Structure 1
Amino acid sequence: MPSQAISLLASEKNGKDWMDSVLPVLWEGLCTELGFSAGVVVLKAEGEDSFYESASFGYGEDGFYYSFLNRGSLHWEELMHSPEPVFFTGAEFELFGKKTNAAAIRISSGRGAVGFLLVELEESLTIPAGIFLSLFAEKIGNAWGRTRTGLNVPEASRDENSHSLYRKEIPNLDLAQQEFVKQKILTILGPPGSGKKTLAKWIHQSQFPGAPFLVVESLPEHFGKLEKALSAWGAELEQGSLVLAGIQTLNLGQQQILSDWWSKSGYSGSLFLLGSEETNQEILPEFERFLRKNSLVLPSLRFLSKVKLQSLVQVIFEELSGSQNRSGLQLADQSLQELVSRPYAENFADLRNAILTGILTCRTSRVEPADLEPGKSKMDLEIPDAEDLDLRRGTEALERQKILLAMRIFSGNQIRMAKALGISRGSLQYKMKQLGLM
């Protein structure tokens, strides 16, 4: 085993300090010493379930992505469960070099695999080099394990979630729920993004668990089609709940048909009417009475006290961090103050988008203010509810999440991002501009 290669392992640093400052330099020297043409170290990130490139050698500025080692693939599973090196021939797999083969070794810590190292070489891997790489993988695994002791683990559980905290600020909610049980109708008014659909779904599930729940975003303007649609929805739902959004936009004819259908059709289910308090449409007196049978007005986030908004931001941050497999992530105090001080025209939608942006773009263990604004234009990050039929918005939201994740994994390298995402660099740049990410 080369003595110079052995000396490269000598360092007084350990744990995260060794991983951040020593490993990248050490890996380059090691690959050079052992005559490898290229190589990469991929490790699991702290406090989450994602993998990142921790060190690389020989790929140039554009880098390279081994698509056959996509997480969850057959070759990934083989590598993650193999105690021995796994070999990939250049004739069978897409490698960086034109005349190279590759050898990959699993990196383990504790009970499971936490990553791998891969090298490309023109000749076969010699036994001494293989032994040395195995020892090096073991050293990386030990250092990775020591980083876990310094993680700030959030509370294991909370009695309240973001929605329950916000519901406490809704005036007369208990009374409206009691009336809903009797009348089976509830009008929920409020500014955009204030959680009208979420509240309707929560009330529905608390009163009719397991019953159908249908959200309709727009009604047919043709009166005959509207009557048929209401009849069809009523027959489909039976004892479920029909949710009609955007009621402030209904014309006089639609208002009349809807109120008549409710009073005369014999529909046995429940009805939620969602909309804004403000409307430019003329309202029929009987339709206004129909809306006021049982109604709630949701408050805007700007009316919450600073203390309550801070608590809400913290809970949403923990919920979204968990959903993105980044439960060890922290929110910097300056980021918290930044989020609390912002105006939110879209209320919950804007707030959750800002927090999720920070989580997806953050490349360290703490979300800083710079992470909260990666792009110049607004775009919903969240995947819409299952009841939301807006396919375009759902597709854009998913694309943006995947691109932001690729940005974090590959530090913004567009060629490597495009390879991982399975699209051309030109398509990636077009999508990034379209989604406000560049």
Structure 2
Amino acid sequence: MPSQAISLLASDKTGKDWMDSVLPVLWEKLCTELGLSSGVVVLKIEGEDSFYESASFGYGEDGFYYSFLNRDSLHWEELMRSQEPVFFSGSEFELFGKKTNAFAIRIRAGQKEIGFLLAEIEVSNSLPVGIFLSLLADKVGNEWGRTQGIPVSKEVTSSENSYSLYRKEIPNLDLAISEFTKQKILTILGPSGSGKKTLAKWIHQTNLPGAPILVIESLPDHFGKLEKALDLWGTESRHGSLVLAGIQSLNLGQQQILLDWWSKSGYSGSLFLLGPEGMGQEMLPEFERFLQKNSLVLPSLRFLPKAKLQTLVQAIFEELCDSQNRSGLHLGAMSLQELISRSYSENFTDLRNAILTGILTCRTNQVEPVDLEPGKFKMDLEIPDAEDLDLRRGTEALERQKILLAMRIFSGNQIRMAKALGISRGSLQYKMKQLGLM
């Protein structure tokens, strides 16, 4: 029974104070009393998207890095999804000990994975160890959460995503969905990049969860091939949904074939027809009425109220930061105004590309207007002119270039960055502070 470790678990200290002063000692005591050979606690840095070793045991001054747990690797993803300890055999994975096996436990704060703890042990039966380390993982997650203002042992309700915000601006959406459940057909018109397919998929998943959905981007020009294709698609999507994009390209003969198929084939699924608001081509009167049976027109981003667009931009920014492992990044006020004032011919497509440019090129913790200029970051990484004799400036430029490259390759994981750059993590952090990178 690890008595000293239990007393540390019951410490009156909380939050950052507990993380800084109790956890390193607690980890060492727990590893010693449980008979572990070595072990490490890896946690997310507060306010950033980098990870660091919060506590370690048994590795000596040189430390040890578990390469098979690189961020975004298969084993990392497995660990972050697993509710149970994940076992790593010493015969299959590169561990610190020569005769040890290891198991790792993810650490969560609220609903966010913020790190893991890993222990190496020689004995095969690790159940008691797993129990104590699971308790520790919960404790670490709670105390880390306190430093971020995350309620202890409560789920964090996520904010609305960007497309749910946009859906609120679509006129008559509720009525169209109600009619869709009755008629099984919906025409969605709108400008390029406005999310017509996304909306069709959302309506399908909302009304027909688990049912198949088939999205067709182009239709055969030959009438006979179109008839056969519709029969085949109808069979594949029966009891589900068929989505036909680009209906503006249908000629009169194709329009008639589609009308006949819908009325005579016995298709039991639902149908979505997608196209631009201004169809621009000649249409059969009955086909035009067919499209108007139940239809929606999606608004262009330029028609959204400024306050709504601002909220939408911020939501997209947060989603893309999360997808690029840069959750500590902020959108500057001037950058926000710049994004709002721009015109986006491809709507969501152009807007997301603009925001992603800023995220990928930003070198600080805040995206500024200069970061939104495509290709600008490439100039920032160039070495000064060869005729510039300022050695200090040249050295700093080269160090900055190498550190930024390591940041991209290793997604900001400072342990891996330091190892690749051939310096200690402390030296790396010192240089990053000097160069304005953290």
Relative to the length of structure 1, the TM-score reads: 0.55
Query: Equivalent residue for 1:178?
Result: 178
Q: Aligned partners of 1:185 and 1:259: how far apart in 2?
A: 12
Query: Equivalent residue for 2:330?
Result: 330
Inter-CA distance 308–319: structure 2 relative to 1 (3 Å threshold): same
Contact 1:255/1:284 (CA < 8 Å) preserved in 2? yes
Q: Structure 2 unaligned runs (5+)?
A: 1-42, 53-66, 80-89, 98-113, 118-144, 377-399, 411-415, 417-438
Q: Structure 1 unaligned runs (5+)?
A: 1-42, 53-66, 88-110, 115-147, 377-406, 421-438
Partner SS state of residue 242, structure 2: strand
Q: What is the CA RMSD across the aligned residues, in angstroms?
A: 4.4
For the pair 1:411 / 2:409, whether they are aligned, the reply is no
Contact 2:44/2:115 (CA < 8 Å) preserved in 1? no
Query: Equivalent residue for 1:277?
Result: 277
Q: Aligned partners of 2:181 and 2:327: how far apart in 1?
A: 38
Partner SS state of residue 180, structure 1: helix
Displacement after TM superposition at 1:69 (Å): 10
Displacement after TM superposition at 1:309 (Å): 0.7
Query: Equivalent residue for 1:363?
Result: 363
Displacement after TM superposition at 1:199 (Å): 0.7
**Residues 297-316 of structure 1: matches in 2 within 5 Å?**
297-316=297-316
**Residues 278-293 of structure 1: matches in 2 within 5 Å?**
278-293=278-293
Contact 2:49/2:327 (CA < 8 Å) preserved in 1? no
Query: Equivalent residue for 2:343?
Result: 343
Q: Aligned partners of 1:408 and 1:193: how far apart in 2?
A: 36
Partner SS state of residue 404, structure 2: coil
**Residues 18-417 of structure 1: matches in 2 within 5 Å?**
47=47, 49=49, 72=73, 157-375=157-375, 411=404
Displacement after TM superposition at 1:305 (Å): 1.1
Partner SS state of residue 188, structure 2: strand
Displacement after TM superposition at 1:49 (Å): 4.7
Query: Equivalent residue for 1:126?
Result: none
Q: Aligned partners of 1:86 and 1:204: how far apart in 2?
A: 50
Deviations 1:135-167 (A, max 9, x none): xxxxxxxxxxxxx999899x9544522112111
Displacement after TM superposition at 1:408 (Å): 9.1
Partner SS state of residue 316, structure 2: helix
Q: Aligned partners of 2:48 and 2:169: how far apart in 1?
A: 33
Displacement after TM superposition at 1:194 (Å): 0.6
Contact 2:223/2:257 (CA < 8 Å) preserved in 1? yes
User: Please, which moves more after superposition, 364-373 or 267-276?
Assistant: 364-373
Partner SS state of residue 326, structure 1: coil
Partner SS state of residue 411, structure 1: helix
How many pairs were matched up? 283
Partner SS state of residue 266, structure 2: coil
Q: Aligned partners of 2:115 and 2:187: how far apart in 1?
A: 52
Contact 2:49/2:328 (CA < 8 Å) preserved in 1? no
Displacement after TM superposition at 1:281 (Å): 2.1
Relative to the length of structure 2, the TM-score reads: 0.55
1:411 aligned partner, one-letter code: L
Contact 2:215/2:243 (CA < 8 Å) preserved in 1? yes
2:211 aligned partner, one-letter code: A
Q: Aligned partners of 1:282 and 1:335: how far apart in 2?
A: 44
Inter-CA distance 86–361: structure 2 relative to 1 (3 Å threshold): farther
Deviations 1:153-206 (A, max 9, x none): 9x9544522112111111111111111011000000000011111111111111
Query: Equivalent residue for 1:25?
Result: none
Q: Aligned partners of 2:366 and 2:148: how far apart in 1?
A: 11
1:195 aligned partner, one-letter code: G
Contact 1:185/1:271 (CA < 8 Å) preserved in 2? yes
Q: Aligned partners of 1:69 and 1:112: how far apart in 2?
A: 11
Inter-CA distance 408–272: structure 2 relative to 1 (3 Å threshold): farther
Inter-CA distance 231–409: structure 2 relative to 1 (3 Å threshold): farther
Contact 2:51/2:115 (CA < 8 Å) preserved in 1? no
Deviations 1:62-108 (A, max 9, x none): xxxxx99965499xx9xxxx9xx979xxxxxxxxxxxxxxxxxxxxx
Partner SS state of residue 346, structure 2: coil
Contact 1:211/1:239 (CA < 8 Å) preserved in 2? yes
1:279 aligned partner, one-letter code: M
Contact 1:360/1:408 (CA < 8 Å) preserved in 2? no
Query: Equivalent residue for 1:4?
Result: none
Displacement after TM superposition at 1:326 (Å): 1.9
Inter-CA distance 187–287: structure 2 relative to 1 (3 Å threshold): same
Inter-CA distance 169–223: structure 2 relative to 1 (3 Å threshold): same
Contact 1:217/1:244 (CA < 8 Å) preserved in 2? yes
Partner SS state of residue 364, structure 2: coil
Displacement after TM superposition at 1:219 (Å): 0.3
Contact 2:357/2:374 (CA < 8 Å) preserved in 1? yes
Inter-CA distance 373–334: structure 2 relative to 1 (3 Å threshold): same
Query: Equivalent residue for 2:131?
Result: none
Contact 1:361/1:408 (CA < 8 Å) preserved in 2? no
Q: Aligned partners of 2:369 and 2:156: how far apart in 1?
A: 26
